[in-house]
Structure 1
Amino acid sequence: MTQERLGRQRQFVRFWTADTVSLAGTHVTTLALKAVAVLTLGASATVAGLLESARWLPYLLFGLVAGVLVDRRRRLPLLVASDFARAAVLVLIPVLAFTGALTVPLLAAVVVVFGTLSLFHDAAHQSFLPRLVPAAQLTDANARLEQTRSAAQGVGPLVGGALVKFVGGPAAFLVDALSYLVSGLVLARLRTVEPEPVPARRDLRGEIRDGMRWVYRHRVLRPLALATHAWFFCSAMVGAVYTVFVLDALAFDAFAFGVTFAVGGVGGVLGASLSGPAGRRFGEGPVMLAGRWLSPAAYALLPLATPTAGGFALLCAGQFVFYFAIGLESPVEMGYRQFVTPDHLQGRMNATMRSFNRAMIVFGAPLGGFLADRLGPATALWIAVGGLVAQAVAITCSPVRGARL
């Protein structure tokens, strides 16, 4: 199916619009959170890594339960409610900052609450799309969402860097709060009729086991999930180190930091534009493998950077290739997962994979920060690149290479 045909579907366009608005704000906050931690609160690499992991801790603690609850309920009301709640929570950060009460522990507590709400939103979001578009359009629909996600990845940090530089980090959180409010209002206007949820067994553990059994016993989903867990672990190490490496070791300012992500966003949009055609031409499996090999190649450029114009260009090139890889791979991966999973297991499948993926951030980000403090940022980055190479080798030797819709 073509983008034009998806563009004629009013309900998908509204869903796409809401997703675009909220993602733009999310990436403003992602940069603002790191900048506030390092520049305002004076956090070390280890503390910055712990703060990053706090956002994803709810995925480790409650992720599997969230999948069961999403499968027991209609998904659209969950999307709307979680957007409104996230808007309210984020307003707390500038309020605490303006009253002089903001500390690292308080910031971490707010981030944990925000992460819990995002957990339920994400599980419902990924499970709602198969109810919105036909199965044959899932890859293209995911590609459209990935394009705007990549664009937001680029524009959000750029705007966030400018806001941090000119009005301060805490004020940047107001932009994200507004974006979630707008997203919730747009989603509330959707008129998609959802089927009645499958009657709950009221056996929480059994339902969780059903979701995990589906993922980890499936011939393709199992190696895909395991390799993706490793990818998230190593990428989280890079994420924790990158902030301190750029802002502290290389002494670039917050705006330049944001520019590197903006360049990455361009790469992501390009990758997402090619994802659907590449999947149809070469097959979903080979496209996934290409993305997994491009990731370590991209991040291998980062530790080579120096505090010069050439070093800044290396940072931008690394982010461009990395997000190109994500944009290329993510739509075909998500389309495949949604295509092979029955509707009544969508919530649990997505929550299982997403929860363990985000759990890897909980452990990977602090480890990256610890290694950076002990061995230096460049060494920590090389260790993470080695891990990304290992996961690329593993997934190449698995049945994922033959995955097809």
Structure 2
Amino acid sequence: MTTGRSTEPGARYPLLASTRFVRFWLADSVSMFGTYITAQALQLLAVLTLGASTFELGALRAAQWAPYLLFGLLVGVLVDRYRRKPILVGADIIRAGLLTLIPLAVVAQVLSMPMLIVLVSVFGAVSLAYDAAHQSFLPNLVPPQLLTQANARLEQSSSVAQIGGQGVAGILIKLVGPPAAVLVDAVSYLISGLVLATLPVTERTSPPGRSTRSTRNLRAELREGLRWVYRHPALGPLALSSHAWFFFTSMVSTIYPYFVVRHLGFDAAAHGLTLAAGGIGAVAGSSIAVRAGRRFGVGPAIIACRWLAPAGYALIPLAHSGTGGFTILCVAQFAFWLSVGIDSPVEMGYRQSITPDRLLGRMNATMRSMNRGAIVIGAPLGGALAGLLGLHPALWAATGGLILAALTLNASPFRHARLDGGW
């Protein structure tokens, strides 16, 4: 006897019924856990081991994202020409090797800020290829109506990794030092690459033959991708607002570890715990992202998050040393990452759903390269402003910029953006 509503697990949780998505989700989760450890370890390695200034911290952060600005559009074209799975696997293996070089250089007593910046920039170049392929690969694993849910699940695992990774990172760095902590991420990339290598998938876009690739017009393909992103009535304003968002948040994230560790006097463990509080916010946000997008619409949901981000970051310059200041920092990170947890899967589901498969690589690479390009400029600028004007004025300037970005998006046609079939 059957009823009108299926009680099978596959009906209630359709994503879990897809073994391909589950394996992809597993690989991504393992990789993200290690990434959050390294993100903190590299900054504290620069501050505590190499004695980096705020400007050098900005240069280090910019180095990771400079390849996105320099080569992002070109990589988007290439990703649309070739299969994406081999790119993902190769990038994971190469990144594992690059990260292993950092602790080896520390042991050999040859690591310096210039060498660290070079290694991080090469790492960023490989990550550029991975990210463009990663964001374009998911539509091959799940149907369009499940894209937003799939992105929400990926965002949730990223958020859980942020909680565990950031919390573990602070303790791990305190116990064994930043160099050894970087090895954890190297192992995570290796595991991710091995899992992806065994993932069975038939990609929608078959790579063209050698003769076809050679006769394609690279410039025309670049223009086509740019036109799709920036001339789209809703995607265009979203892209510009996102570039501004990354610019100003990179200023804050550059100053933050110096502000917490040097200015307020908290140790690496406390610094990690404040970031872990942000992870809790991201988990909470990603848990309600689909419902928020469905209930309020893509435009209103994302715009609300763009207002919540500066509200959270405005608390950081109000913090002081002691328990009260630590609590303020945790609340600030929670509020900011709550906005990211809601915003990210809704935005990604919208972008993937409205973009044709043949343009996915270029759309994702354009958005991501320009966003990361904003970090290349914003991160060192934030460090320079902190050195010239002081930590508090620089933090307030960045928060004001986020408010301006939210106001601009709120006044654009994007506020009417809706997604009918991607929930």
**TM-score, scaled to structure 1:** 0.98
Asked if 1:178 corresponds to 2:187, the answer is yes
Q: Which amino acid aligns with 2:347?
A: E
TM-aligned CA deviation for residue 197 of structure 1: 2.9
2:273 to 238, 259, 263: 259
Aligned identity (percent) is 57
SS at match of 1:251: coil
Note the 1:90-105 alignment, pairs <5 A.
90-105=99-114
Question: Contact conserved, 1:241 with 1:372, CA < 8 A, in 2?
Answer: yes
1:295 to 306, 309, 329: 309
Q: Which amino acid aligns with 2:225?
A: G
2:299 to 266, 285, 289: 285
Moved over 2 A (4+): 197-202
Asked if 1:328 corresponds to 2:337, the answer is no
Note the 1:167-206 alignment, pairs <5 A.
167-195=176-204, 196-197=206-207, 199-200=212-213, 201-206=215-220
1:38 to 47, 72, 92: 47
- The aligned counterpart of 1:376 is 390
Distance 1:342 1:187, change over 3 A: same
Distance 1:317 1:339, change over 3 A: same
1:47 to 56, 65, 74: 56
TM-aligned CA deviation for residue 3 of structure 1: 7.0
2:145 to 136, 146, 159: 136
Q: Which amino acid aligns with 1:177?
A: A
Unpaired stretches in structure 2, ≥5 consecutive residues: 1-9
Unpaired stretches in structure 1, ≥5 consecutive residues: none
Take 2:375 and 2:290, find their aligned partners in 1: how far apart are those partners? Answer: 28
SS at match of 1:180: helix
Question: Contact conserved, 1:3 with 1:140, CA < 8 A, in 2?
Answer: no
- The aligned counterpart of 1:163 is 172
Compare 380-389 and 3-12 and name the one that shifted more: 3-12
Question: Contact conserved, 1:2 with 1:140, CA < 8 A, in 2?
Answer: no
Asked if 1:244 corresponds to 2:244, the answer is no
TM-aligned CA deviation for residue 2 of structure 1: 7.7
TM-aligned CA deviation for residue 365 of structure 1: 0.5
Q: Which amino acid aligns with 2:339?
A: A
**Paired residue total:** 405
TM-aligned CA deviation for residue 60 of structure 1: 0.7
Q: Which amino acid aligns with 2:418?
A: R
Distance 1:285 1:203, change over 3 A: same
Take 2:171 and 2:118, find their aligned partners in 1: how far apart are those partners? Answer: 26
RMSD over equivalenced CA pairs, Å? 1.1
Question: Contact conserved, 1:86 with 1:180, CA < 8 A, in 2?
Answer: yes
Take 2:149 and 2:304, find their aligned partners in 1: how far apart are those partners? Answer: 18
Q: Which amino acid aligns with 1:123?
A: A
1:362 to 345, 370, 376: 376
Q: Which amino acid aligns with 1:171?
A: A
